[in-house]
Amino acid sequence: AQSVTQLGSHVSVSEGALVLLRCNYSSSVPPYLFWYVQYPNQGLQLLLKYTSAATLVKGINGFEAEFKKSETSFHLTKPSAHMSDAAEYFCAVSFETGANNLFFGTGTRLTVIP
Amino acid sequence: KAGVTQTPRYLIKTRGQQVTLSCSPISGHRSVSWYQQTPGQGLQFLFEYFSETQRNKGNFPGRFSGRQFSNSRSEMNVSTLELGDSALYLCASSLETGPFYEQYFGPGTRLTVT
């Protein structure tokens, strides 16, 4: 079965500390992988995506993610957390080149401690 | 350029009623996708419309339906509302269909069924 799993529904980091949000996928075909962020009472905003080009993907707001096929992972990182990074983060996967149906993980709520 | 707009933003309905939600995509975008977000089930894909045709459909009962007009605006309809239909309904638009095109999400319509 094809799925995506986010480990840790809540992550707390101190301001200035490394942010690491974990995402693993299960797929029998090459996946397309995405990270989205959702601020309270807002829709989702794309942070970055992997579409089989470079395995290290840089996104907006200083975030990046590395696609590791051997580990079936696509973890999101940011070297130094800012207060404005507090939000909910969703990993998503698509398995079709001609479709927009994303499968989302359950989300990770990031809290940044001043 | 204006973003994705969804109307209404909030809605309260009674069990058994039906509801229609509207989504206006970014100008020039031809694909519109709908997602349901609930605390229990997370984000789930409902369906995608591209050039007025339903391209993909998620695993939802037939009470959930949608359509797309020639100007790419889309509506989704839920008939015979159940308490479990209470959710945030998100609409996303993209230029074309497929993972190579970014999906832009609207702020959502929060539906409460009493």
Distances in whole angstroms, Cα of residue B26 to Cα of each of A88, A106, B22: 24, 27, 13
Does residue B84 sit in helix, strand or coil?
helix
Q: Which residues of B touch A101 (CB under 8 A)?
A: 33, 45, 48, 56, 58
Q: Which residues of A touch B104 (CB under 8 A)?
A: 46
DSSP letter at B113 equals E
Confirm or reject contact between B60 and chain A (CB < 8 A): no
Cβ pair B53, B70 in contact under 8 A: no
More confident site: A71 or A28: A71
Handedness of CA A68, A87, A6, A30 (dihedral sign): negative
Q: Which residues of A touch B92 (CB under 8 A)?
A: 43-44, 100
**Average pLDDT value for chain A:** 92
B56 min Cα distance to partner chain A (Å): 7
pLDDT digits (tens, 9 = 90+) for B36-77: 999 989 999 999 999 999 998 999 999 999 999 999 999 999
User: What pairs with residue A90 in β-bridges?
Assistant: A36
Checking if the pLDDT of A1 tops 70, the result is no
pLDDT class for B101, splitting at 50, 70, 90?
confident
Contacts of B77 (CB under 8 A, 6+ apart): B18, B19, B20, B21, B64, B65, B66
pLDDT class for A96, splitting at 50, 70, 90?
confident
Checking if the pLDDT of A16 tops 80, the result is yes
pLDDT digits (tens, 9 = 90+) for A30-66: 788 999 999 988 889 999 999 877 889 999 999 999 9
CB contact under 8 A, A99 and B56: yes
Task: Output the pLDDT for position A97.
Answer: 74
Distances in whole angstroms, Cα of residue B63 to Cα of each of B32, B46, B88: 19, 11, 17
Find, in chain B, the residue whose alpha carbon is nearest to that of A96.
Answer: B98
Distances in whole angstroms, Cα of residue A4 to Cα of each of A1, A47, B23, B27, B56: 10, 17, 27, 32, 19
Find, in chain B, the residue whose alpha carbon is nearest to that of A95.
Answer: B99
pLDDT digits (tens, 9 = 90+) for B3-47: 999 999 999 999 999 999 999 999 999 999 999 999 989 999 999
Find, in chain B, the residue whose alpha carbon is nearest to that of A100.
Answer: B98
